[in-house]
Every structure is written in C-alpha cells, then in structure tokens.
Amino acid sequence: MEQGIVIKSTGSHYRVLHGDGKITDCVIRGKFRKKNLRTTNPIAVGDNVKFDYEPDSNTGIITELLDRRNYILRKATNLSKEFQIIAANVDHLFLMITIILPETLVEFIDRFLMTAEAYRVPATIIINKTDLYGEAETKRMEYLESLYTRIGYECLRLSIIKNQGLEILKTRMKGKINLLAGNSGVGKTTLINALNPALNLKTEAISDYHKQGKHVTTFPEMHPMPFGGFVIDSPGIRGFGVIDMEKNEIYHFFPEIFRTSKECRFYNCLHFDEPGCAVRDAVETGAIDPLRYRSYLNILNDNNRKYR
Ligand SMILES: Nc1nc2c(ncn2[C@@H]2O[C@H](COP(=O)(O)OP(=O)(O)O)[C@@H](O)[C@H]2O)c(=O)[nH]1
Ligand SMILES: [Mg+2]
Ligand SMILES: [Zn+2]
C-alpha cells in the first residue's frame, strides 16, 4: 500500500506522485462515486489517495480517498446539473489578468474573487505582460491595483518575458497547492514553464483562443514546482461554480460591500433599491468602486440562472 497525491486525472486514469518523486498511473474501483454530490469525476488533482502498488508495471489501483480540506467545482457543461471537481485541497488561488492582449474585464475578476471568498481560499491577482504596457495601460493597471489592494487582495506585477516579478511570486506559491486561473492567452502556461522549465509545456497561439468558448471537458493538471508545492493549470475554465448561492448571500463575498452592509437600514438589504442603503451611499461617495458595485448587481441579476 502506497500513499500519494493525484497530479493528473483523465476521468478514468490518475497519475499519482508518491515516494520520493515516483509517478504511477492508477485506476480506481467503482465504489468512489459519492451519493449526494453529482460530480463527473470522483477524484481530482490535489487529492491524497492510497493505492495498491504494482512496482513491476508501475501501475496501481486506488483503494482510498483521504479527507479533503476543500474542493473547487465547476459545472461540467453549461446546461448539465453535474459538476466537475477542478481540484482538491487548494491553498491559494491566483487569477492572472492582462490589461491588453487580451483585456481582462473587471466583472470577470470580480466573479473569480467572489468565488474565492465563497470557498474561503485566499486569492491573489497577477497582472502579466507589463512589458507591453504604455502610458494608458499603466494607468489602467494602477487603477486596478489600487481598487483591489484597497479591498484586501494582493496584486503582483509580472512580465514573464522580461523575467520580472517571478521571484516574489515564487515566495507566495512556495509549499502550497496553487490554482492558476485566467482567460485564455494571458500567459498561464508560459508562467508554469518559467517556474519549472523542465516541464516544457505547450503554450497557446492566438488561433487557439476560440477553444475557450467550447465546453470541452478539460482536465486540469497539477505541476510540481522545484521550489516546493504545486501549480494547477486550468485550461478552458472560464468560471468556477458555487453551488446553492442565495441572492442574499452574494454580497457576503464582496468584502467591502459586506463590511459596509452593516450600516444599511434593513438587515435584509440587497443593496439594490432599498431606502437607507449604506452600500449605495458608499458608491456615491466613491468609497465603494462603481465597477465593483456593477459586478455585484450583474451577479445578483443573473444568479437564478447561473448559480442555482
Ligand atoms: N509580451 C508578453 N507576452 C507574454 C507574456 N507571457 C506570456 N506571453 C505570451 O502570451 C501568449 C499566450 O500565452 P499562454 O501561456 O499560452 O497563455 P494561457 O492561455 O494563459 O496559457 C503566448 O504567445 C506567450 O508568449 C509576457 O510576460 N509578455
Ligand atoms: Mg495555457
Ligand atoms: Zn444596503
């Protein structure tokens, strides 16, 4: 019997890292499907498993899934009621954004951060491709940095091409299971290669961007880092799903709106059109950023469709 951590899952096969760096292809027995959780994959990257090891063929049969600290889900496809576990035991979420090529929208950032809050996993924003930024882009970057650091999120500048910002990022990732998310084309794969050159992963050309729109089930891969810890790449993952979020819960996951909501006249204020709403007052004065508030309203509006 061996114990290890799953670093790749293809739905039927699992690559397990164990011992001092051995990697073994494993299968599972049928008994792993949980009764109440409709997930398409019973085991995900980040899971700790026990398995019967066959050293001769370097194969194994997973016999036990150890308890998870957490797991991150998404809807398996847009319409299905099934969920895919993207990763388990995640310590830190990193959202990579770019100001241009491609432009990352504030609402996309806010949906990601809201999900991180709901999962109670710390989140950091990485602003990549700073080497491309002129005056206008730098202004935009500074605006986003001040917006998000004020709320409490760390923002790290990065230019992988110019090798700037990598060292500080390593200190944040060291020894942890890190999930890296972001729009297609922002530089996620390039970063993982820079952090661990031995991996030599294929980066995406512009022509591959269209893949983003399709709902192909891609399985995330977890890459060991030479400085300790792992980085999970999540190709094709546009958003994470939080199951069962109620309308009156959403603002709990916007920290500055939540803090301000304590001053609202009504305890059940949704900060939409209620009288005496301290949140809307704060938007008026600029204490809460109007774009953040707009993201909140958009999520509030479509939460029936999207999150229930
Ligand atoms: N100028 C510039 N380009 C970058 C940087 N990082 C990545 N890229 C380019 O962005 C494109 C997409 O990168 P990729 O890693 O495939 O993005 P992913 O879809 O997020 O995995 C590639 O052409 C990279 O060379 C950077 O720091 N500066
Ligand atoms: Mg990629
Ligand atoms: Zn209110």
Report how far residue 141's alpha carbon sits from residue 145's, in angstroms, rounded to the nearest whole number.
Answer: 6
Tell me: the pLDDT tens digits for 218-274?
A: 788 999 999 999 999 976 666 666 656 789 999 999 999 999 999 999 999 999 999
Q: Are residues 176 and 294 in the same domain?
A: no
Q: Are residues 257 and 290 in the same domain?
A: yes
**pLDDT reading at 307 higher than 50:** no
Q: Are residues 110 and 223 in the same domain?
A: yes
Nearest ligand, CA 190? 1
Q: Are residues 33 and 132 in the same domain?
A: no
CATH number at residue 36: 2.40.50.140
Alpha carbon of 40 to ligand 3 centroid (Å): 38
Q: Are residues 229 and 93 in the same domain?
A: yes
Q: What is the predicted pLDDT for the residue at 213?
A: 44
Does the residue 76 lie in any domain?
no
Does the residue 290 lie in any domain?
yes
Residues spanned by the domain of 128: 89-233
Q: Are residues 6 and 57 in the same domain?
A: yes
Q: Are residues 114 and 41 in the same domain?
A: no
**DSSP secondary structure, 142-185, as one string:** HHHHHHHHHHT-EEEE-BTTTTBSHHHHHHHHTTSEEEEE--TT
Q: Please, which residues have CB within 8 angstroms of residue 86's CB and are 6 or more apart in sequence?
A: 44, 45, 71, 72, 73, 74, 179, 220, 232, 234, 237, 240
Q: Are residues 177 and 288 in the same domain?
A: no
Does the residue 117 lie in any domain?
yes
Alpha carbon of 256 to ligand 3 centroid (Å): 12
**pLDDT reading at 305 higher than 60:** no
Q: What is the predicted pLDDT for the residue at 245?
A: 79
Name residues contacting ligand 1 (CB within 6 A). Answer: 128-129, 131-132, 159-161, 182, 184-190, 203-204
Instruction: Determine what percent of the chain is predicted with pLDDT higher than 70.
Output: 86
176 or 211: which carries more pLDDT confidence? 176
Point out the ligand 1 atom lying closest to the alpha carbon of residue 202.
16
Tell me: the pLDDT tens digits for 32-53?
A: 655 556 778 889 999 999 999 9
Point out the ligand 1 atom lying closest to the alpha carbon of residue 192.
15
**pLDDT reading at 306 higher than 60:** no
Does the residue 241 lie in any domain?
no
**What is the residue-averaged pLDDT of the chain?**
89
Q: Are residues 117 and 199 in the same domain?
A: yes
75 or 290: which carries more pLDDT confidence? 290
Point out the ligand 1 atom lying closest to the alpha carbon of residue 191.
15
Tell me: the pLDDT tens digits for 109-137?
A: 999 999 999 999 999 999 999 999 999 99
* Pairing mode, strands 22-28 and 14-18: antiparallel
Alpha carbon of 20 to ligand 3 centroid (Å): 54
Does the residue 73 lie in any domain?
no
How many domains does the chain fold into?
A: 3
Q: Are residues 39 and 155 in the same domain?
A: no
Test site for ligand 1: of 94, 108, 184, 203, most ligand atoms within 8 A of the Cβ: 203
Point out the ligand 1 atom lying closest to the alpha carbon of residue 208.
19
Does the residue 72 lie in any domain?
no
Instruction: Determine what percent of the chain is predicted with pLDDT higher than 90.
Output: 74
Q: What is the predicted pLDDT for the residue at 25?
A: 97
CA atoms within 13 A on the CB side of 270: 14
Q: What is the predicted pLDDT for the residue at 218?
A: 72
Point out the ligand 1 atom lying closest to the alpha carbon of residue 233.
21
Q: Are residues 62 and 93 in the same domain?
A: no
CATH number at residue 275: 1.10.40.50
Alpha carbon of 106 to ligand 3 centroid (Å): 22
| Mean pLDDT value across residues 71-100 | 87
| Mean pLDDT value across residues 207-214 | 48
Q: What is the predicted pLDDT for the residue at 142?
A: 98
Q: Are residues 138 and 211 in the same domain?
A: yes
Alpha carbon of 186 to ligand 1 centroid (Å): 5
Alpha carbon of 186 to ligand 2 centroid (Å): 8
| Mean pLDDT value across residues 286-299 | 96
